[in-house]
């Protein structure tokens, strides 16, 4: 009987959602109409753009522009984008916004040639173009040609459209009043999507570019299929396929960005020209940078774009929002109450939409309401599961303290005697790399960012160091720094450092406070929650532009910065740090030989003995007096 009751409830819930969506669909079509235009650019190329325009002509309407390489489909003026019926988008329609969605140059139905993360040209002349000039020309056309617009424009987008949002902010058009780069592609060598500190994230890179990277000779409404991996076990497939050059053979010769990527193994001028942080000066529109604490694709971009604008454009109204979200989770893909096994106990996405994003655009584009209640930095702190409204990021009152590794797998704020001469060691074997997550998966998971790390603790090629049980809360707010002293038996190696929150053995979520989460009732007693993990390709330890081999047996410092954290380790928990040398197949395997990894052979891969000396530490940004 219980089974049938649950089935009835589930069916009624689904029907209720369908009825609500049908009602929203009917409302949108009753109140909006759609037009499609080829919008001219300064060099004679035209970009395909879909416009959703209010039928109400009793007032002027602001324009909200989303520029995307992922298509503004469905095409045809009678075909409405179903995203507009979601709670996230319909909020803007009910506020009376004109919605513009544009296929960027060279993608889908737009003319021209597509260039991945096309470099910004600060010295454009005449008919020279970049993504900033395309945005300028699009805005200029819209305010002159769209009926009933109020001459005020905003731009927003998540992920790759976040990159185009950053480019929009550099356009300089006077009608552009507000921009929100969200999980923005910012630096594909240092920390977003396809590289982290020079290590190639080829699980994402290969999967993405086998389809996305295929050339599109003429405008099209049809997506290019990607490579079909012949197994659901990605760990097995990537390991069997071997060196990156074998993936290049599968990719073929036609995918330009893949070829460029493998031929630029270091952080050279080619990569630096594709880093928007180098150009974010004198920005005029108000900025709202948004990201997820646990964004598996773009955890780096939001933090570091915000900081770059603060440094290089100090007069810009620049704000930061970071919530407990996966990639785009705040944009209608999740209510933000949990991620994987970790529960936050609050509808964080709804809070953000209603209290930050919509008021932000309403103020600058409709001159409605206020932004006084939107803090400089609105950041959700996991662990304590509370929002903090801060005057800066990192906030005032942060002190940086070293937490040292020690004999017996300990962690201490006091360096032990003879720390520089004692060590823990492991053998890193590329034939048996450490997996990034425990289970078998047919793709890269988003939940790994908060996954239980007990599976890694059990491996002999992972070092685990832990504090005693905490007697008081410790709150971290800012970037982490891993400062390792190591010797290796070969000429190169990777280093993965993970900061972990170890739950008490008796811990159980109170469903009255935290809800049911994902409903799986995972055993949380002793849970080892990944708070932050990051990899460093050892040969880049002194320079990302000029790599250097290790001298086998010599003690060498490897120091690097991990993405920021906002987390409270609660009293009764422990802080754990894990160190390992592979994170597979999230990142490619290091052959542990100083070679060009993109072109090396399977025979180049070798075992390495890795020693981590006990004067190694992780530098914590501890928030005091909170």
Q: For 332-344, write each residue's pLDDT tens digit.
A: 889 999 999 999 9
- Do 158 and 183 form a contact (C-beta atoms < 8 A)? yes
DSSP collapsed to 3 states, 227-279: CCCCCCCHHHHHHHHCCHHHHHHHHCCCCHHHHHHHCCCCCCHHHHCCCHHHC
Q: Given the DSSP bridges, would you call strands 338-339 and 342-343 parallel, antiparallel or unpaired?
A: antiparallel
The answer to whether residue 18 scores a pLDDT higher than 70 is no
| Burial category of 513 from C-beta neighbours within 10 Å (exposed 0-12, middle 13-18, buried 19 and up) | exposed
Q: Which residues pair with 609 in a beta bridge?
A: 427
Q: Among 20-29, 542-551, 614-623, name the one with the lowest average pLDDT.
A: 20-29
- Region 155-181: what's the mean pLDDT? 98
The answer to whether residue 71 scores a pLDDT higher than 80 is yes
- Do 97 and 59 form a contact (C-beta atoms < 8 A)? no
The answer to whether residue 1 scores a pLDDT higher than 50 is no
Name the DSSP class of 517. Answer: T
What's the CA gap between 122 and 552, in Å, rounded?
45
Identify the band that residue 78 occupies on the pLDDT scale cut at 50, 70 and 90: very high
Count each helix (H run) and each strand (E run) in the chain, helices first: 14, 25
pTM score: 0.95
| Tokens 């920021």 sit on residue | 564
Question: Which pLDDT belongs to residue 14?
Answer: 46
Question: Which pLDDT belongs to residue 23?
Answer: 74
- Region 258-267: what's the mean pLDDT? 97
- Region 257-282: what's the mean pLDDT? 97
Give one word for 568, left, alpha or beta, with left for phi > 0 and alpha for psi -120 to 50.
beta
DSSP string, 337-359: SEETTEE-SS-HHHHHIIIIIHH
Domains along the chain?
27-189+272-390 (3.40.50.1820), 398-623 (2.60.120.260)
DSSP collapsed to 3 states, 118-168: CCCCCCCCCCCCCHHHHHHHHHHHHHHHCCCEEEEEEEEEECHHHHHHHHH
Q: For 450-468, write each residue's pLDDT tens digit.
A: 999 999 999 999 999 999 9
What's the CA gap between 574 and 470, in Å, rounded?
6
- Region 115-120: what's the mean pLDDT? 98
Exposure string over 299-310, b if 16+ CB within 10 A, otherwise e:
bbbbbbbbbbbb
Choose among 192, 190, 204, 200: nearest CA to 267.
Answer: 190
- Region 130-138: what's the mean pLDDT? 98
Task: Specify the DSSP element, H or E, that contains 609.
Answer: strand 608-613
Rounded to whole angstroms, what are the CA distances from 107 to 161, 223, 578?
13, 10, 43
Provide the 3-class DSSP secondary structure of residue 413. Answer: coil
Identify the band that residue 10 occupies on the pLDDT scale cut at 50, 70 and 90: very low
Q: For 230-252, write each residue's pLDDT tens digit.
A: 999 999 999 999 999 999 999 99
What lies within 8 Å, CB to CB, of 123 at 6+ separation is: none
Percentage of the chain beyond pLDDT 90 is 93
- Region 542-546: what's the mean pLDDT? 98
What's the CA gap between 331 and 357, in Å, rounded?
10
Provide the 3-class DSSP secondary structure of residue 66. Answer: strand
Q: Given the DSSP bridges, would you call strands 398-406 and 386-390 parallel, antiparallel or unpaired?
A: unpaired
The answer to whether residue 374 scores a pLDDT higher than 60 is yes
Q: Among 17-21, 78-82, 443-447, 473-477, name the one with the lowest average pLDDT.
A: 17-21
Q: For 581-619, write each residue's pLDDT tens digit.
A: 999 999 999 999 999 999 999 999 999 999 999 999 999
- Do 571 and 472 form a contact (C-beta atoms < 8 A)? yes
For the chain, the average pLDDT equals 95
Identify the band that residue 15 occupies on the pLDDT scale cut at 50, 70 and 90: very low
What's the CA gap between 156 and 191, in Å, rounded?
21
Question: Which pLDDT belongs to residue 20?
Answer: 54
What lies within 8 Å, CB to CB, of 75 at 6+ separation is: 36, 50, 109, 221
Question: Which pLDDT belongs to residue 21?
Answer: 62
| Tokens 């949380």 sit on residue | 524
């Amino acid at each position: 009987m219980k089974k049938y009751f649950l089935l009835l409830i589930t069916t009624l819930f689904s029907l209720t959602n369908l009825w609500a969506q049908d009602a929203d669909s009917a409302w949108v079509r009753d109140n909006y109409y759609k037009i499609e235009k080829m919008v001219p650019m300064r060099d004679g190329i035209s970009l395909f753009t879909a416009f959703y325009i209010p039928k109400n002509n009793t007032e002027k309407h602001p324009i909200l522009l989303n520029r995307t390489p992922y298509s503004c489909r469905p095409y045809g003026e009678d075909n409405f984008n179903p995203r507009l019926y979601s709670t996230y988008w319909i909020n803007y329609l009910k506020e009376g916004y004109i919605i513009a969605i544009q296929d960027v140059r060279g993608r889908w139905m737009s003319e021209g040639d597509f260039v991945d993360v096309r470099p910004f040209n600060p010295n454009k002349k005449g008919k020279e173009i970049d993504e900033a000039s395309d945005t300028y020309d699009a805005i200029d056309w819209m305010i002159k040609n769209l009926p009933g617009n109020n001459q005020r424009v905003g731009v927003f987008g998540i992920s790759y459209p976040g990159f185009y949002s950053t480019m929009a902010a550099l356009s300089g058009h006077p009608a552009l009043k507000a921009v929100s780069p969200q999980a923005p592609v910012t630096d594909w060598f240092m920390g977003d999507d396809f590289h982290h500190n020079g290590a190639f994230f080829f699980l994402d890179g290969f999967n993405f570019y086998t389809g996305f990277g295929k050339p599109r000779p003429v405008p099209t409404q049809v997506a290019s299929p990607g490579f079909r991996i012949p197994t659901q076990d990605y760990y097995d497939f990537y390991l069997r396929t071997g060196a990156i050059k074998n993936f290049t053979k599968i990719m073929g010769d036609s995918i330009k960005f893949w070829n460029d990527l493998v031929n630029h193994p270091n952080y050279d001028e080619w990569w630096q020209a594709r880093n928007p942080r180098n150009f974010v000066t004198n920005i005029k529109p108000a900025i709202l940078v948004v990201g997820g604490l646990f964004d598996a694709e773009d955890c780096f971009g939001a933090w570091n774009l915000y900081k770059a604008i603060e440094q290089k454009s100090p007069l810009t109204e620049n704000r930061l929002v970071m919530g407990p979200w996966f990639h785009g989770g705040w944009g209608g893909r999740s209510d933000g109450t949990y991620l994987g096994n970790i529960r936050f106990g609050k509808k964080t996405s709804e809070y953000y939409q209603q209290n930050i994003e919509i008021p932000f655009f309403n103020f600058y584009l409709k001159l409605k309401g206020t932004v006084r209640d939107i803090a400089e930095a609105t950041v959700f702190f996991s662990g304590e599961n509370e929002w903090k409204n801060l005057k800066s990021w990192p906030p005032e009152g942060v002190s940086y303290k070293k937490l040292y590794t020690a004999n017996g797998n300990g962690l201490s704020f006091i360096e032990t005697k003879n720390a520089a001469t004692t060590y823990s060691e492991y053998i890193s074997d590329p034939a048996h790399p450490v997996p990034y997550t425990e289970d078998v998966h047919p793709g890269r998971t988003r939940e790994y960012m908060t996954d239980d790390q007990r599976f890694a603790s059990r491996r002999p090629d992972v070092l685990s160091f832990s504090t005693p049980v905490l007697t008081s809360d410790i709150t971290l707010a800012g970037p982490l720094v891993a400062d390792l002293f190591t010797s290796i038996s070969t000429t190169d190696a990777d280093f993965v450092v993970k900061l972990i929150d170890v739950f008490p053995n008796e811990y159980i979520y109170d469903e009255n406070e935290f809800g049911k989460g994902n409903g799986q009732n995972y055993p949380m007693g002793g849970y080892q929650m990944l708070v932050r993990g990051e990899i460093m390709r050892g040969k880049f330890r002194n320079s990302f532009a000029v790599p250097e081999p290790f001298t086998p047996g010599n003690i060498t410092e490897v120091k690097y910065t991990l993405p920021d954290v906002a987390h409270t380790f609660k009293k009764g928990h422990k802080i754990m740090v894990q160190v390992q040398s592979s994170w597979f197949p999230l990142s490619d395997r290091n052959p542990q030989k100083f070679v060009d990894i993109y072109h090396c052979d399977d025979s180049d891969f070798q075992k390495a003995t890795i020693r981590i000396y006990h004067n190694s530490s992780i530098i914590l940004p501890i928030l005091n007096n909170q």
